[in-house]
Amino acid sequence: MSEIVKEPSMLLQKEMIARNYEAITSKHETGRKVSSTFVPGNLNELLLCFDIVNNLPEINAIQNGMRKLSGNYIMDAEKAGHSEDVCTYVKADIGMMGAGNIAPNGKPFPKPDVLLLSYTGCYTFMKWFELLREEYKCPTLMLHVPYEGDGHSTKNMRDYIVKQLKEVIIPGLEEVSGIKFDIDRLREALRNSAKAEDNLVWVLESGKHKPSPIDAYFGGVYYIGPIFTAFRGTRDAIAYYDALRKEVQARIETRQGPITPDGSNFNDQRYRLIVEGPPNWTNFREFWKMFSDEGAVVVASSYTKVGGMYDLGFRHDADNPLETLADYCLGCYTNRNLPTRVDILAKYIEEYEADGLLINSIKSCNSFSAGQLMIMNEVERRTGKPGAFIETDLVDPRYFSAANVKNRLESYFQMIEQKRLGTAKAA
Amino acid sequence: MRCFIGIDLGSTTTKAVVMDENQTVLGRGITNSRSNYDTAAAVSKQEALVDTRLTLFRRSLEAVPGTADVAEAVLADLERNFRHIQFVEQLEDLERTCIGNVKGPRFAGREKPVIEALAETFRRLREHSATQFAPGFRRKSDFFRDLAGGDFMHNGEAVCREAGLAFDLILNIYDKSIIKVENRPPAGDIEGKFVRALEMESLDQSLIAAPVKSALSIPLEETYVVGTGYGRVRLPFPKEHIRSEILCHGLGAHIMYPGTRTVLDIGGQDTKGIQVDPAGIVENFQMNDRCAAGCGRYLGYIADEMNMGLQELGPLAMQSTKQVRINSTCTVFAGAELRDRLALGEKREDILAGLHRAIILRAMSILSRAGGVKDQFTFTGGVAKNEAAVRELRKLIKENYGDVQININPDSIYTGALGGAAFAVRAVLN
């Protein structure tokens, strides 16, 4: 395969990510502190208040998956005793540590100064940090976020989180960083977040156009990069989303689709899909091509909401700084119950005028995958649009069977086509 | 006449169906997929066209007073003669290929006796071929490789012994050559061969020659071909001519049984549960994940483990008197369980019955994920021919879904190709 073609905003983001890895790996020279934390419900604005650099193990696993390194790391972790069925992000991380803990910039990752665990629906995150704590012997700050079991949050839940922020998280970060918490600094970061979030939502909602100027899954994972990682709350993120918005606006004006992995404009969009579940990273481009080759564009996805459901109206609010952090953590996709996920996906099908729902079920992720078939059946029932189910993995190349996935996808697209032709013609 | 063709390039066998524009099946053809999908597609299509000619002969003969009664016998003779001509043609190809392979240091100075031994072996093969295609002879296989191979071993060994040559010499040539010949579709000219087959016949020419020749004069125009199955991308036609097996099995099952609402297809590599609407349009499907446990290949593996033919598994399992529980549909683990049960002294037929149940249990899980079993339920694919699998399926469907009508067509193996052919008709006529 030829070199992947990148849109200008992707190149901009690449530079930002490289800069963050540089900041992490040069901590001994700069004296900055480093935290490890997870994407869903992360507290980046708070970390910015303490000059703490943000390192995200899931993102490292994704990077290693896309760079074809995760397979060996996973096998190494299995040799160390981790089961085949355990989350492969965890094993890719553990394996990477065993292989020298080298960051994508070629320099070793330093030990984190703090593990900041915002617990938003993934039990594995807790166990993962247990392993890291054992390895690094560094302080762990846990923010417990109540699960939205009834589909909504309550004042009690919010108060509970704010209390933890005040009594545990902020004092803990002050101690690690040696910097006194300044709420005005947090407000400034939150204002920056909200600006970037406005543009992100605009970009993601542009999928309602026909042709869609974006791919809200394969392209979408790039669009969410800065906002869900170390850049939310920064001026860099504002600049990125301004640039991205202009890029997408230009495509809307010329009625162009996004760029395909081959570098052509994806204008011949035959199928509009909603996708649920994370993508496969080890065969990302091959996977993407299976869609673009068949003219299938993803107009909305749930994965681009794992770190925050901004399109449902939430914005970080500088006037209520701690409360807004609580609301953000409570509302991220992984913290929502199954009926809410069904509601969201059914709504996307209607609003984005999609042809159907495709679920990519992740073999090693029980948190995300449990109940997905039920979700599909229910969304099908409500919308009357066909669903399909494929199975791959996050970063374990052994779990990606190209022939099987392609067979199912092609069948699904043809099934949509056949349904469009209608009963009269098919009989 | 306009012909619409569906080709199902499966992992084990390749099937073709020829239809007319009224969606009437004219002919069916099947071959092994080998490692060469191009040849498999060409051979299965050729076989289906041969079968189409036979259908046209039947129609033609039945329309003539006095021939209707003898039509089936005439057709049987014609087909046997045709197959014999085709077989001899392939034998000649094999002989030429073998002789062409007599070269290199291994044969230095021995070329002449080796070529003579080959020529004599093939002479005997040709002579014996008449017996293999004689009326009443039960051929063990219809594949050229199987027919020619057995005879070559037998005659070649005798010829070499008589000539004082090592059999290994010509066996090695045969092994190299049969692969080449097998991967070349038999020469075309189906009509010419039928004319020769007709002339070989001892039947009353004056009565049947005219109707047969009249049927032969109908041109078979390949109007539209649709491909499906794992090898579909190999087919030399545009993407619009390709349909997934899921759609083809759904539509094929609908054509066979219009009341079909749920389809189970157990093929070589996949098990699929498919829901179709009253028009045969696929509404939903589920299939096995990347692991092909419990698919047709599982039975092939078990047959190898038991040192039996694939076709013998079902009948032996039917003799079981006691259910041995086999938990694993994983091909490798099932082998381990099989060995374990044999070591414990369990009977082969009881173990086999357990293995068939394991396959069907896995299929039941896929069916339930696809939305359960609705009336009518149609079982398609190669495994539908296996009576032990069918017995377990009937039991489990009854237990789980009650009295659902279960359809199993004797031509179930052609379901995918049938759906493909129907798509071909629709592509042109709609």
Query: Which residues of chain A make contact with B246, given a CB cutoff of 8 A?
Result: 411, 414-415
pLDDT of residue B202: 63
**Is B283 near chain A, with CB under 8 Å?**
yes
- Start-end of H helices in B8-67: 37-62
Is the confidence at residue B225, as pLDDT, over 90? yes
Burial class (CB in 10 A: 0-12, 13-18, 19+), A253: exposed
pLDDT of residue B424: 95
- Chain A positions touching chain B (beta carbons under 8 Å): 363, 373, 377, 380, 386-389, 391, 399-401, 403-404, 407-408, 410-411, 414-415, 418-419, 421, 423, 425-427
pLDDT of residue B141: 74
pLDDT of residue B36: 80
**Is B260 near chain A, with CB under 8 Å?**
no
The C-alpha atoms of residue A281 and residue A287 are separated, in whole angstroms, by 9
Contact B426 A414 (CB under 8 A): no
- Residue ranges of B 113-142 with Cβ closer than 8 A to chain A: none
B274-292 pLDDT, tens digit per residue, is: 999 999 999 999 987 766 6
Contact B279 A389 (CB under 8 A): no
With the CA atoms of A66, A67, A73 and A75 taken in that order, what torsion angle do they form, in degrees rounded to the nearest 10?
70
**Is B282 near chain A, with CB under 8 Å?**
yes
Contact A407 B371 (CB under 8 A): no
Residue with tokens 């399992």: B317
User: ipTM surpassing 0.90, yes or no?
Assistant: no
pLDDT of residue A280: 96
**Is B37 near chain A, with CB under 8 Å?**
no
Q: How confident is the model at residue A2 (pLDDT cuts 50, 70, 90)?
A: low
Q: B371 vs chain A: nearest CA distance in angstroms?
A: 8
Say which of B243, B286, B369 has its CB closest to residue A414: B243
- Give the nearest chain B residue to A373 (CA atoms): B369
Q: Single out the residue of A204, A370, A391, A384 nearest to residue A298, CA to CA.
A: A204
Query: Which residues of chain A make contact with B280, given a CB cutoff of 8 A?
Result: 426-427
Mean pLDDT of A25-47: 96
Is-contact A396 A404, C-beta < 8 A?
Answer: no
Mean pLDDT of A131-157: 95
B113-145 pLDDT, tens digit per residue, is: 999 999 999 999 999 888 888 888 877 777 788
- Give the nearest chain B residue to A422 (CA atoms): B281
Contact B279 A399 (CB under 8 A): no
Q: Which of A16-25, B70-79, B148-157 has the lowest mean pLDDT?
A: B70-79
**Is B240 near chain A, with CB under 8 Å?**
no
**Is B258 near chain A, with CB under 8 Å?**
no
Both structure tokens of B55: 């259908």
Query: Which residues of chain B make contact with A408, given a CB cutoff of 8 A?
Result: 287
Is-contact B354 B326, C-beta < 8 A?
Answer: yes
pLDDT of residue B413: 93
Task: Print burial letters for B219-237: b (CB count within 10 Å at least 16), e (below 16).
Answer: ebeebbbbbbbbbbeebee
Both structure tokens of B150: 């057995």
Query: Which residues of chain A make contact with B283, given a CB cutoff of 8 A?
Result: 386, 415, 419
**Is B372 near chain A, with CB under 8 Å?**
no
pLDDT of residue B323: 81
Give the N- to C-terminal CA distance of chain A in Å, as an integer. 41
Is the confidence at residue A255, as pLDDT, over 80? yes
Q: A397 vs chain B: nearest CA distance in angstroms?
A: 12
Q: Single out the residue of A300, A253, A243 nearest to residue A274, CA to CA.
A: A300
The C-alpha atoms of residue A25 and residue A106 are separated, in whole angstroms, by 9
Q: Classify B163 as helix, strand or coil.
A: helix
pLDDT of residue B290: 64
B56-72 pLDDT, tens digit per residue, is: 999 988 888 777 777 88
A381-409 pLDDT, tens digit per residue, is: 999 999 999 999 999 999 998 988 998 99
Is the confidence at residue A427, as pLDDT, over 60? no
- Give the nearest chain B residue to A393 (CA atoms): B290
